[in-house]
Amino acid sequence: MNIIMDGKEVAADPGQTIIEVARRNGVYIPTLCHVPALEPAAMCRVCTVELAEGRRTRLVTACNYPLRGDAEIHTDTPILRQGRKLLIELLAARCSDSKTLRELAERYGADLDRFPAENKDCIMCGLCARVCERVGGNVLALCGRGVEISVDTSFGRLSPTCIGCAACAQICPVQTIRIEDVEGERRVIVRGKEASRVPLRRCTSCGVHFGPVIDLSQVMKRAGEAGVLAFNTSVCPACSRRNLAKRLAERHLEQYQGDAHTKDEED
């Protein structure tokens, strides 16, 4: 398979997507809705590249286009730069204050104030919904249609199935999902609105809250006994470390004391 990217021949395996090949060969393609761990959704369209097939040139999204044969790809042409610029400008109207967009705007010369601000605080990349589905929570999803589309819980209610894993907050490129641990509860806040409340576990040793209460039957279903063991702790990581250190120290000390004893005897 002969792949030429921006004029240079690059290494690629059949079936790899354009973005995988680009990353492997150090070619920059911007993305807003793609992480390697999740199935690509091609929603943000920022990763659009030009694909030359014979005499025809097509615009395809790099994140989900699988390379199956010879191809020539251009990742940074005037059409693409112009398109990305407009994409960023349009997204900036939804989400005016974002570091990610500011960086991209600088690269592509986009005017962040070109369109009137709508302050929806979300660029609709859908990453939170996809990661939530992947984790198995299915708490957040894309709700509504067209302009009205938004990330929300079922019927906009507090979700009963959230496990409080915080993957959504972690993955959000514009930091619009917040996690607040207060009064023994974890709250997932999406665009200012509470999406779920999950009780936190209290450390039996020091009394600190250290993570959401986990439904062990679900863990059992997915990971079996071994998984349950890993999750079934009643002490916080700090205490757990301290306890381990204590146990180790005691054991070593015992041995040392034992050694000392025999030495004494020898003497």
Partner 1 sequence: MATATSTAPDLAWTKRLSSPQELAPYRQALIAGTDPNALCIRVCCGTGCKAVGSLDVLEAMKKAVDAAGVDLKVMPEVKRTGCHGFCSRGPLLTLQPQGLFYQRVKPEDAAEIIQKTSIGGEVIPRFLYKPPDAKETIAKVRDIPFFAKQTKLVLKRVGQIDPFDIRDAIAQGAYAGLVKVLTEMTSQQVIEEIKISRLRGRGGAGFPTGVKWESCASQTGRHYVICNGDEGDPGAFMDASVMEGDPHAVLEGMAIAAYAMGSDRGFMYVRMEYPLAVQTLTAAIRQAEDLGLLGQNILGTDFSFRVSISTGAGAFVCGESSALMSSLEGKVGRPRAKYIRSTEKGFRDSPSNLNNVETYANVPEIILRGGQWYTSYGTERSAGTKVFSLTGNVHNVGLVEVPMGTSLREIVFGIGGGIPNRKQLKAVQTGGPSGGCIPIPSKFIDINVGFGKLAEIGSMMGSGGMIVMDENTCMVEISRYFINFLVEESCGQCTPCREGLTRMREILTRITQGKGREGDIELLEEIGKFTNSFSLCGLGTSAANPVISTIKYFREEYDAHVRDKKCPAGVCKPLYYYEIDPEKCTGCGVCRKRCPAAAIEGEKKKPHTIHQELCIKCMECYRNCKFDSIKIM
- Positions touching partner 1 (CB under 8 A) are 40-46, 48, 59-61, 64-66, 79, 82-83, 86-87, 90-91, 93-94, 115, 123-124, 126, 142, 144-149
How far, in Å, CA of 166 to CA of 222, rounded?
A: 19
Name residue 197's beta-bridge partners: 187
**Least CB distance from residue 243 to partner 1, whole Å?**
47
**Least CB distance from residue 195 to partner 1, whole Å?**
19
Q: Which residue has the tokens 């930091």?
A: 175
Our CB check for partner 1 shows the closer of 57 and 170 to be 57
Nearest CA-CA partner of 48 in 37, 32, 35 = 32
Our CB check for partner 1 shows the closer of 94 and 186 to be 94
Our CB check for partner 1 shows the closer of 82 and 232 to be 82
Q: Quick one: CA dihedral 47, 48, 50, 54, positive or negative?
A: positive
**Least CB distance from residue 141 to partner 1, whole Å?**
8
CB 58 within 8 A of CB 84: no
Q: Which residue has the tokens 């398109």?
A: 83
Exposed e or buried b for every residue in 163-196, given b needs 16+ CB within 10 A? bbbbbbbebbbbebbebebeeebbbbebbeeebb
**Least CB distance from residue 73 to partner 1, whole Å?**
13
Report DSSP state, residue 157. Answer: S
**Least CB distance from residue 94 to partner 1, whole Å?**
7
Our CB check for partner 1 shows the closer of 60 and 171 to be 60
Our CB check for partner 1 shows the closer of 59 and 245 to be 59
Report DSSP state, residue 160. Answer: S
